A and B are shown apart, each in its own frame.
Chain A
Amino acid sequence: AQTVTQSQPEMSVQEAETVTLSCTYDTSESNYYLFWYKQPPSRQMILVIRQEAYKQQNATENRFSVNFQKAAKSFSLKISDSQLGDTAMYFCAFMKTGTASKLTFGTGTRLQVTL
């Protein structure tokens, strides 16, 4: 079974600064996907970024980027130029390949962006 660990229950960052959220996972699979999801106060789950394990290049989406270390089973999220709208719960998730595969979520990190 897969496990996803987020060791930072809460983080705080000032507007315009950079913050990194940590995530580690455990799996025996060689091919899989990793995700970061954002859950703002509205509680709507929003996909932030996705990484395919067979790709060595780290995924980036505008101000969001990941540091994917496959051997270390680490998948951190970096948010640059933080904005107030980034305030949310952030969940790291793992998924095996396959159309019916389910997501395994970490416990989440609550990020607060302050003025």
Chain B
Amino acid sequence: GAVVSQHPSWVICKSGTSVKIECRSLDFQATTMFWYRQFPKQSLMLMATSNEGSKATYEQGVEKDKFLINHASLTLSTLTVTSAHPEDSSFYICSARDQGANTEAFFGQGTRLTVV
């Protein structure tokens, strides 16, 4: 199957700093990418839908100024957690769908963010 690479796999940052997470589709083009947050032993919660060349669509309750999403190319979307606080500590996962296919979404390996 297609490969989605997410970087970094884990990151520790200080409160008040910003952290950028990258999501790349390595062997296909993705007009749409999705960002999820997962708390321990819970399901994936969709944060936003990232659209290449346009603004992201955020789910209700997700602060767009807090979680900045940029989808500048057909193979790269980034999530920046701005002014991070300990409550932002979580597991963040991206997924991408091949623009030529209608169904399967491929997932990155996830990023564990710890804010101290």
Interface of A toward B, CB cutoff 8 Å: 33, 42-47, 50, 52, 91, 95, 97-100, 102-108, 110
Contacts and interface: CB of A to CB of B under 8 A. Distances in A.
Contacts of B102: 97-99
Nearest to A92: B43
B34 A108 contact: no
A47 B42 contact: no
Contacts of B51: 100
A99 B49 CA distance: 12
Contacts of B44: 45, 91, 103, 105
A102 B46 contact: yes
Task: Name the interface size band of chain B.
Answer: 20 to 34
Query: Majority SS of interface residues in chain B?
Result: strand
Given A33-B103, A97-B102, A100-B51, A43 B46 contact: no
A33 B51 CA distance: 21
B13 to A, nearest CB: 20
Given A91-B44, A99-B102, 5 more contacts: A43-B38, A45-B44, A45-B95, A99-B32, A108-B43
B99 interface: yes
Interface stretch (B70-78, B80-88, B104-112): B104-112
